[in-house]
Structure 1
Amino acid sequence: MNSSVPGFPATSAAEANLDPRLRAIAVIGMSCRLPQARGLDAYWQLLCSRTSAITHTPPTRWDAEALHDTEFTTPGKVTTRSGGYLDDADVRGFDASFFGISPREAQAMDPQQRMLLELAWEALENARTVPGNLDATATGVFVGSMWDDYTTLLRDNGLEAITRHSLIGTQRSVLANRISYHLGLTGPSLTVDSGQSSSLVAVHLAVESLRRGESSLAIAAGITLNLVPESTVTAGKLGGLSPDGRCYTFDARANGYIRGEGCGVVVLKPLTQALADGDPIHCVIRGSAVNNDGGGSSIATPRAAAQERVLRLAYADAQLPADQVQYVELHGTGTPVGDPVEAAALGAALGSEREADDPLHVGSVKTNIGHLESAAGIAGLIKTALSIKHRTLPPSLNFESPNPNIPLDELRLRVQTETGAWPHPERSLIAGVSSWGMGGTNAHVILEQAPAEEAVQEAESPSQDSGLLPVVWPVSAKTPAALRVQAERLAAHVRETGDAVDAAAVARTLTRGRTQFEERAAVVGETAGDLLAGLEALAADRPHPALVTGSVLGGKTVFVFPGQGSQWAGMGAHLYQHSPVFAQQLT
């Protein structure tokens, strides 16, 4: 391998001789809670359906009409009445008992802490990683955050409202520390504030920690919740918010951004280890870089030279040539100043070596859900990871004609305006994700599709004349009500997937990749229909021949054959012949 990538800084001899896969980081788990998108499937559907999640500000947050004014200079007023908001139930709701937290402490906790706990758990389950198995491991936690709306809300209650839980409940460092404490993690644990680039900088730090061996696994996240009007008025006074309530990324109508809120979490592991462990791999992080503008016309004004530099550093780190990049998820706020600067940097770093008929496709999820600020980068990264997984590029909204200061053809850029295939699906799918912070901290992360690996056959399939073996789906929860909810979620998955559901794969995930709680059920069946019937009965709290329920009294589960004699001739023989794991234990 050459010691330099065309158009990028030279790498050291040691780096040049290192297989890129040895430096790559696998994204093995993801979760999100975004405007009108509670989960990965809902997020992907929102993106591909060209849905805008921007709505009028709910009255449960603040009186948007009372605060509205067409002039951003009017004291105490803001030019917009809209934003991308989560359902109030997702912000207020929290199962404190699930995490062993008292109601009084939960009330004092910033909802950002509560949501991060929930989504970190979901992301680990998405990674088929049992959270309890991470106790005392060098798992790192890196969280991007920049606002303290809940602290502002509590201060309005006066000094008398401060309790012994207030400091820990509102201290921003605890956003990361709370996850580490609950799971018993001993790796680095820090909250990052680099402004709007915070969550992508958190991902970069997680990647570097894994590469150094400082962390064995990493949880990277970003969160923003818009709970009080103060933060929106503060952003509006800078003059950056769109009075139209839309984000017109790279469009001639660009007049500012619209605020959004939400949370995203990814679970990262060195690629070589993820492959060895048989983990699910959504995509691979090939490289990343962070820098700062280092001074411009103002502290809030971006510099094209600095953004170009961070792009070159990231692709040098990834050891990838510019023309291999097929898509970039833009920072793309839709501001008259920021968009032309970003376009110029992209054109210089990634467009200059491309042919005119092979432009770089670009887009921004801010046109769908608003600018999530400290969570913007992670929202863009998850969007791009889903685009790689589904081998489809969703559209960027609100684009009709380019900003006159953005010569797209000259820069070799093209805004992705329709749902469609990648420009070169025959190649490895490679994309970049950008995030720029007010104050000048820039971050860029490069994603690539997971390497193709041959499927490993875990057990010998039964012969055709032996008939179908029944499959067991274990379901568990902390309460009977939660058990029914789990059953309904799994049933919905079966109904959506239909005959394509892999019953054995689901069984493996439920057995090895989920925590086994006290309230338990087992659904047994030979077909998806059998299993669905059992799940629906469990969800409805009614008996069914394919369903067994019970509670764990304590101690470890054991497999016992009674010593009084068999209940039928040859009991266990069929299982012994066709289950190597059972046969090995019995022998």
Structure 2
Amino acid sequence: MPATERDLNQAGVAAARRALAMIRDLQAKLAAAEGAACTPIAVAGLACRYPGADDPDSYWAQLAAGRDAITEVPPERWDIDTWYDPDPDRPGKMSSRWGGFLRGVDRFDAAHFAITRREAEALDPQHRLLLETSWHALEDAGIAPDSLFGKQLGIFVGLSTNDYGTLLGAGRGAEWIDAYASIGNAQSAAAGRLAYSLGTHGSTLVVDTACSSSLVALHLAIQSLRTGECEVALAAGVNLILSPELTINFSKARMLAADGRCKPFSAGADGYVRAEGCGVVVLRRAAAGVRARALVLG
């Protein structure tokens, strides 16, 4: 065989080997990517504040006992007798007297988060509640919050309402607006404030898809963990009912049950009841190692 032909044959064999190696490498990368897309995610810790329950244990006890936490609108929110009318067409009135409400939403440990009193007064209580509940969730996961500085912690928050901004501006001129007013009531700032407090560098965002906001936040947190964007993720949802306007709107849309009771899948279903709360879960890739009691999501 002439030397030139032999050289060409050897070059062809070498090219085929390189192509085969590339195919194997691509197959390995594809398998890794497909595996990452379904990596099990573990719930390493959680915390919550719900009507009648200030932590997961008391919430579980409430569910197990079948206790109902729905009450009439408390007077510290608004005077229900002034705003209520059973006729949903009555202008400026709400057709439901009911809701699920938290206690002590005006309380906040501002000093713990190095927030001044003046800034705290302008800060939406939903942001305050998120800060405190997230701290408790991290502790429940066995993570010291002050150990997260500079870490890739993802923060995904479901938040839809901004009643507090409405209350702050009600009946006032523009003189109430200070340096803290806008950022203290911007929905987009809730997650960033938490990231700033912890000193983290991961993905940080607020999701508003109405009733599904916290579920979408959970979905995005799981995606972020599976793609390696973050090492640990917080998925949260928070809501407070501080002013009557949105309840009036929902009354006009026939969305609220007059008796304050949801009746899913029932022929007698006639609306739902509004409620408050904050729930936070700490998520990690299961392979990263979590406590034995962690719940693993497929």
Normalising by the smaller structure, the TM-score range is 0.7 to 0.9
- Partner secondary structure for residue 198 of structure 1: helix
Name the counterpart of 1:226.
241
Structure 2: distance between partners of 1:249 and 1:65? 28
Name the counterpart of 1:138.
152
RMSD: 1.7
Question: After alignment, is 70-79 or 201-210 more displaced?
Answer: 70-79
Name the counterpart of 1:47.
63
TM-score with structure 1 setting the length: 0.44
Structure 2: distance between partners of 1:65 and 1:253? 27
Name the counterpart of 1:268.
283
Alignment of 1:35-74 (within 5 A): 35-74=51-90
Residue identity matched to 1:45: A
Gaps of 5+ in 1: 1-12, 287-587
Aligned residues: 268
Name the counterpart of 1:95.
109
State yes or no: 1:167 paired with 2:182. Answer: yes
2:238/2:278 contact within 8 Å kept:
yes
Structure 2: distance between partners of 1:227 and 1:264? 18
1:26/1:281 contact within 8 Å kept:
no
Name the counterpart of 2:9.
none
Task: Indicate the structure whose relative CO is greater, using CA pairs within 8 Å and at least 6 residues apart.
Answer: 2
Residue 18 of structure 1: CA displacement?
3.4
Structure 2: distance between partners of 1:224 and 1:182? 21
State yes or no: 1:124 paired with 2:141. Answer: no
Name the counterpart of 2:294.
282
- Partner secondary structure for residue 251 of structure 1: coil
- Partner secondary structure for residue 176 of structure 1: helix
Structure 2: distance between partners of 1:134 and 1:94? 22
Structure 2: distance between partners of 1:162 and 1:42? 39
Query: Which residue of 251, 254, 257 maps to 2:269?
Result: 254
Name the counterpart of 1:396.
none
Structure 2: distance between partners of 1:228 and 1:39? 25
Name the counterpart of 1:184.
199
Residue 115 of structure 1: CA displacement?
0.6
Structure 1: distance between partners of 2:45 and 2:77? 32
Residue identity matched to 1:36: G
Query: Which residue of 143, 154, 159 maps to 2:168?
Result: 154
Name the counterpart of 1:536.
none
Query: Which residue of 88, 101, 115 maps to 1:85?
Result: 101
Residue identity matched to 1:18: G
Residues 551-571 of structure 1 deviation map (CA, whole Å, 9 limit, x = unaligned): xxxxxxxxxxxxxxxxxxxxx
Structure 1: distance between partners of 2:113 and 2:287? 32
1:147/1:224 contact within 8 Å kept:
yes
2:36/2:226 contact within 8 Å kept:
no
Structure 2: distance between partners of 1:18 and 1:164? 48
- Partner secondary structure for residue 210 of structure 2: coil
Percent sequence identity is: 46
- Partner secondary structure for residue 233 of structure 1: helix
Alignment of 1:285-434 (within 5 A): 285-286=297-298
Residues 453-510 of structure 1 deviation map (CA, whole Å, 9 limit, x = unaligned): xxxxxxxxxxxxxxxxxxxxxxxxxxxxxxxxxxxxxxxxxxxxxxxxxxxxxxxxxx
Residue identity matched to 2:232: L
Structure 1: distance between partners of 2:73 and 2:149? 41
- Partner secondary structure for residue 248 of structure 2: helix
- Partner secondary structure for residue 220 of structure 1: strand
Structure 1: distance between partners of 2:267 and 2:68? 19
- Partner secondary structure for residue 197 of structure 1: helix
- Partner secondary structure for residue 140 of structure 1: strand
Structure 1: distance between partners of 2:92 and 2:258? 16
Name the counterpart of 2:260.
245
Alignment of 1:467-478 (within 5 A): none
- Partner secondary structure for residue 43 of structure 1: helix
Higher fraction of helix = 2
TM-score with structure 2 setting the length: 0.86
State yes or no: 1:18 paired with 2:30. Answer: no
Structure 2: distance between partners of 1:249 and 1:60? 30
1:127/1:280 contact within 8 Å kept:
no
Query: Which residue of 109, 112, 125 maps to 2:126?
Result: 112
Residue 209 of structure 1: CA displacement?
0.5
- Partner secondary structure for residue 30 of structure 1: strand
Query: Which residue of 196, 200, 214 maps to 2:211?
Result: 196
